[in-house]
Structure 1
Amino acid sequence: MKHSLRRNVIAAMVTSAGTPFIAAQSQPVDVVVITGSRIEHSSFDLPAAIDVVDAARINAAQMRVNASEALAAVPGLVAQNRQNYAQDLQISSRGFGARSAFGVRGVRLVADGIPASMPDGQGQAATFNLDAAERIEVLRGPFSAMYGNHAGGTVVLFTRDGKGRPSVDTTVSGGSYGTRKADILAQGESEGVGYVIDTSRFQTDGYRDHSAATRDQSFAKITVKPSPTSRMTVTASALVQDDTQDPLGVTWATYQRDRRAGETDANDTATPKRTLAERYNTRKSINHKQAGVSFDQHFGDDRLRYMIYGGNRQVIQYLSIPRFVQTAATQSGGVIDFDRDFHGADLNWLRKVPLAGGTLSTTIGIDYGYSHDDRQGYENFVGAQLGLLGRLRRDEANTVRSLDPYLQAEWQGGSWVLTAGLRHSRMSVGVADHYLANGDDSGEVNFRHTTPLLGILYKLTPTLNVYASAARGFEAPTLNELFYSGAGAGFNFGLRPAKSAHLEAGIKAYVGERSRVNAALFQVRTSDELVVDISGGGRTSYRNASKTLRQGAELSLDSNLAKGVSARLAMTVMRAVFDAPFADVVKDNRLPGVPKANLFGELAWNNTSDTLGAAIETVASSKIYVDDANDDTPAPGYAVLNARVQARQNMGRWRLKQFVRLNNLTGKQYVGSLIVGDGNRRYYEAAPGRNWLAGFSAQYTF
């Protein structure tokens, strides 16, 4: 396997990077970021590992449904498409979030300054509107701690502002497995008011059995400047998924027999036997709506910013929990049904003053979040019929509150950039149990932690910066991680938050006139790491491990080569292990869900008029363990090759675009994502074989 991985990585590097030090046409452009320092800042001069995924990459011959396609180009980040729209993407940053059985945990999600993660840290990448995206900023390492609980990494989406003459853009695309999408976006600016309105429908029959989905998404944004020194932004979005099928994971034997098939239900009496997903009709419906307002007021170099948001999320999910398990008094049934109201606010003040020959920028603020769930659980059978809403088994109200004051200061002078920060996170979780037949689970648990940050950057030359940073991190259990203890009995009030110490050192350099290189070394020591205890049928409980250790290196290279050719390389090598034994886990076992190495490479070409382009991409990963004990078969390493072609024509007020994409050109069979620690050993979620996408868009400017 080691030799196979080495061959995969070498092949990917050759494919993507070409000859890295030949004459170039132009230097890669530095970008201005907001994430990390909370003020506009050159990414080159920020003492942190941060990458920007621009609109060109988000739109690179993609349907703009899954952020994982664009995020694959970011080192330190693993973004997996589960081929399961009931469970959303799996995103981890330096190993944080890899344990998530659904949604995003351990990584903070933000869209236009408004959290896409709930106050408990649980996030849904599906709420990102990629059709209106302008860029995504991805922050890893110690600086993420300044975003509070669950910030092992931070992924921040910025949507476009409405500008210029009104225009309407319609895109239609389709591909393998009955996949299709239609989108329409209108934008413009009138009398100082910018607007963006987008709506889309995505449908797929699904690559895996029982994985069909329909997703309706809408988004609106208004920007206005009430005065020359102020700006207000209003956003609203909605995501609706009705009866999204859940294919579940499969065992290694089933995966080897048929990658697209589901796991057969041994208790099924039908001939031929149906899969668990078919028999229980596992599915999930989501109705998510939210809106927010942010306002900036400048007073010279100083700035006051406030943001408020609110929304509602309704979910009903049918799991594959066996009937005999649900009849136990300690269980909560096989159907989850909750109605969540949430809101929050952030208020901060930025002050800039001259100090010691430089400039001191200080931000002081407070971040508040609140959510309230009316939650019920039901049996997923009526009589002998499975997959139907049965008797009530759980009825409770869940409340989460978070309150985080923070302070961040940055001094720039000469060749130095010095940063310090402090954030105090407080989170409370309350349960009011109204179903007392299985005991009273009412109660409250509180978590709190102070996270300090220090960073330093030194400009050795105008084209070479070195930096180092350190911070302490805090990851409290999410509401979903607290729901079950052991085999499913009761609320897990004994679960402790994970605490971590982060160290990072790196360089940022321009090489010649055509290339930019970012490299970082990092180490994270964590105590009370949250790990999977028991997982099965869609229900997962968690426990605390002892200590874990993550040590690794990240490298990214961007080059503008000759004659319109450019290259991108993003590579991560990481040793993520349990640093002390616990239960049946021995020291130095690998953390499940975390690859030892992964790589993205791209070689792209655009003609001088930018009307035609093409690219070859490579994505490679080492094997990934599936359980804490490292006993079961790991997902093997792989390397896949993708290709795309794009064209564009301008015809008066019309702008036309077309694309064709071919993924997995060699038809590689591999596991695309994992359900870590599944108690029934149904860990594996297969990735598609060779598949295609094609699309057409027409934009008219009035």
Structure 2
Amino acid sequence: SNDPGGINLAQAQSDPRSARDRNLSFDGGEALEQTRLGFIYSLPMGEGSELQVRNYYVSRDFSNRLPFFGGGSVDLQRFFAGGGISYTHEGSLGGRPNRVVVGLDYDDQNDHRRRFNNNMGMLGALTLDQDELVTSTGLFVQDELSISDNVQLSFGLRFDEVEFDVGDRFLGNGDDSGVRRLDDVSPMIALLANLSPEVTVYGTYSTSFETPTTTEFANPSGAGGFNPLLEPQAATNLEIGLRGGVGNRTRYELAVFDIDVEDELIPYEIPGSPGRDFFANAGRSNRTGLEATLSSQPTDRIGITLSYTYADFAFADFVDDNGNDFSGNRIPGTVEQLLFAELSYRHPAGWFGALDALHVGDQFANNANTVSDDAYTLANLRLGFDASRGGATFSPFVGVNNVFDQRYNSNIRLNAFGGRFYEPGPGRNVYAGVSVNFDLR
């Protein structure tokens, strides 16, 4: 596919179908081929016990052309595989129902990454050639104890270790091979209470640990290897919620949350590599918000869904390498208000349709909060038909996205160089297709 790149505000408003001139000159774009295979196998092991094995394999070939010369073309071959095993036992503890799960996760990602100069869309000289191996191991245990007929206590513990190993094949500028190991222990505790058959309240406290990806680990110095200054982000999460129903046709859920993040990963661009994201750690950030969902089926044929999210995401303590203090600013790329509504209809004969609307609030495009993107609302329509023949179900469908041809930006390039923050979204567009499902039982 072609990559039009980010454009400035004046271009986005006057000609949203335009592309950045450098993206045209350097033939910006990308190509991707991917194959996936996976399975899950469950084995009962006596009363109340089960062993589950999971596995997956993914092969991916990726190439792109970015709008700059030095190392502006990427060729990546990736193979990653992984899986896990878990054992579940349901029994009793102290005379009360108890469920315990123990398990192991293992993932292995093997990349061969090369970068070439981009000679105005033509592949140039090799500038980087390295093997990147990422192995991730996770051990976990979780216990759920019913301390009374209406109250359940859950607690868990997880250990993660991630190793990044880079082998430099391009030694003309030195050997940038190296290894980084990152690990953490993440506890969790939750309490759930059924106030009535229709109403449940809960509270959860947990910590989490997220390493940069190999792409986010890219070294902004232009050398190979990984960015030696980039650290994983860690979070402390607190959530309190309420869920329940009204009769048999209406369900609701309400949750408030507070997340404190250390070393949040923030993207930025540099002048020599426009259009390419590098990442830095923000000192500390806070994410507080509310999520509410209501779903109802007033008749057998009609469904209604409403959801609302309020998100107050801000830097609590962030001074960048240039001494700029962004503490108190909203985190760029985060939307404060998000509202979704859908009306669906399904006829017993197989016809179905849905009309939905999505309102996305405004957002800032840079750490300084001096550039923003306006709010917008999109409406989408989808119609189709389900037909079953033997063990197969055929579902032809047609849809219209952005029914009212609203102008909006589908992507914001955070902290972009040169003011090119905006990637306009498509206007009204029509699509059609068919899905086929087979029941092999």
TM-score > 0.5 by shorter chain:
yes
Q: For the structure 1 residues 311 and 641, does the alpha-carbon distance in structure 2 shift closer, same or farther, using more than 3 Å as the test? A: closer
Q: What is the Cα deviation at residue 529 of structure 1?
A: 0.9
Q: Secondary structure at the match of 1:546?
A: strand
- Amino acid aligned to 1:561: P
Aligned-pair CA distance for 1:543 = 1.0
Query: How many Å separate the matches in 2 of 1:454 and 1:295?
Result: 29
Counterpart secondary structure, 1:278: helix
CA contact (8 A) 2:218 2:226 kept: yes
> Would the aligned equivalents of 2:268 and 2:414 in 1 still touch at CA under 8 Å?
no
Contact 1:283 1:317 in 2 (8 A): yes
Structure 2: gaps spanning 5 or more residues: none
> What amino acid is aligned across from residue 111 of structure 2 in structure 1?
D
Do residues 361 (structure 1) and 99 (structure 2) align? yes
Q: What SS class does the counterpart of residue 480 from structure 1 fall into?
A: coil
- C-alpha spacing 1:355/1:616, structure 2 compared with 1 (3 Å): same
The residue that corresponds to 2:420 in the other structure is 682
Aligned match of 2:29 in 279, 283, 307? Answer: 283
CA distance in 1, matches of 2:260, 2:375: 26
Aligned pair count? Answer: 433
Distance 2:300 2:167 in 1: 66
Pair 606,308 (structure 1): closer, same or farther in 2 beyond 3 Å: closer
Query: SS state of the match for residue 251, structure 2?
Result: strand
Superposed displacement of residue 558, structure 1: 0.6
Q: Which amino acid aligns with 1:565?
A: I
- Give the deviation of 1:657 after TM superposition: 5.1
The change in CA–CA distance for 1:403 and 1:696 in structure 2 (over 3 A counts) is: closer
| TM-superposed deviation, 1:493 | 1.4
CA deviation after TM superposition for structure 1 residue 697, in Å: 7.0
Conserved 8 A contact 2:275-2:416: no
CA distance in 1, matches of 2:300, 2:438: 31
Return closer, same or farther for 1:302/1:666 CA change in 2, 3 Å cut-off: same
* Matched AA of 2:362: K
Match of residue 410 from structure 2: 672
Q: How does 1:535-550 map to 2 (within 5 A)?
A: 536-550=273-287
Does residue 619 of structure 1 match 2:358? yes
2:252 is the counterpart of 1:514: no
Query: 1:216-615 to 2 correspondence within 5 Å?
Result: 244-264=1-21, 276-300=22-46, 301-321=48-68, 323=69, 326=70, 333-381=71-119, 386-412=120-146, 413-485=148-220, 491-534=226-269, 536-562=273-299, 564-583=301-320, 584-607=324-347, 609-615=348-354
In structure 2, do the counterparts of structure 1 residues 308 and 563 end up closer, same or farther at CA, with 3 Å as the change threshold?
A: closer
Q: Is the 8 A contact 1:556 1:569 kept in 2?
A: yes
Q: Distance in 2 between matches of 1:534 and 1:684?
A: 14
Paired residues of 1:671 and 1:686 also in contact (CA < 8 A): yes
- Sequence identity (%): 27
- Cα offsets for 1:377-423 (capped at 9, x unmatched): 11111xxxx11111111122212111111111112351122211111
The alignment status of 1:629 with 2:368, answered yes or no, reads: yes
Alpha-carbon contact 1:454-1:470 (below 8 Å) kept:
yes
Distance 1:246 1:509, change over 3 A: same
Instruction: For 1:314 and 1:658, locate their aligned partners in 2 and report how far apart those are by CA, in whole Å.
Output: 31
Contact 2:242 2:253 in 1 (8 A): yes
Q: Is the 8 A contact 1:560 1:567 kept in 2?
A: yes
The equivalent of 1:55 in structure 2 is: none
Q: Which has the higher helix share?
A: 1
Unaligned runs of 5+ in 1: 1-243, 265-275, 327-332
Q: 1:506: how far off?
A: 0.4
Instruction: Give the Å deviation of 1:504.
Output: 0.3
Higher strand share: 2
| Segment drifting more, 519-528 vs 612-621 | 612-621
Q: Is the 8 A contact 1:486 1:533 kept in 2?
A: no
* 8 A Cα contact 2:350 2:386, kept in partner: yes
SS in 2 for 1:527: strand
| Structure-1 separation of matches of 2:42 and 2:395 | 36
For 2:193 and 2:328, the matched residues in 1 are separated by: 35
Are the structure 2 counterparts of residues 399 and 644 from structure 1 closer, same or farther at C-alpha, using a change threshold of 3 Å?
Answer: closer
User: Higher RCO, 1 or 2 (CA under 8 Å, sep at least 6)?
Assistant: 1
> Any conservation in 2 of the 1:673–1:686 contact (CA below 8 Å)?
yes
Rounded to whole Å, the distance in 2 between the matches of 1:596 and 1:558 is 22
Task: Rate the CA distance shift 1:444–1:459 in 2: closer, same or farther, 3 A.
Answer: same
Report the CA distance shift for 1:659/1:396 in structure 2 as closer, same or farther (over 3 A): closer
Kept in 1: contact 2:395–2:435 (CA 8 A): yes
Judged with a 3 Å threshold, the aligned counterparts in structure 2 of structure 1 residues 695 and 492 are, in CA distance, closer, same or farther, namely: closer
1:492 partner SS = coil
TM-score (structure 1 length as normaliser): 0.58
- State how far apart, in whole Å, the 2-side matches of 1:368 and 1:646 are: 41
SS in 2 for 1:254: helix
Q: Matched residue of 1:259: which SS?
A: coil
Deviation at 1:582, TM superposition (A): 1.0
How far did residue 660 of structure 1 move?
A: 3.6
Question: Which whole-Å CA distance do the structure 1 matches of 2:112 and 2:350 have between them?
Answer: 53
Q: What is the alpha-carbon distance in structure 2 between the residues aligned to residue 697 and residue 424 of structure 1?
A: 40
TM-score, normalising length from structure 2? 0.91
Specify the SS of the correspondent of 2:129: strand
**Distance (whole Å) between structure 2 residues aligned to residue 463 and residue 393 of structure 1:** 62
- Gap change, CA 1:453 and 1:532, over 3 Å in 2: same
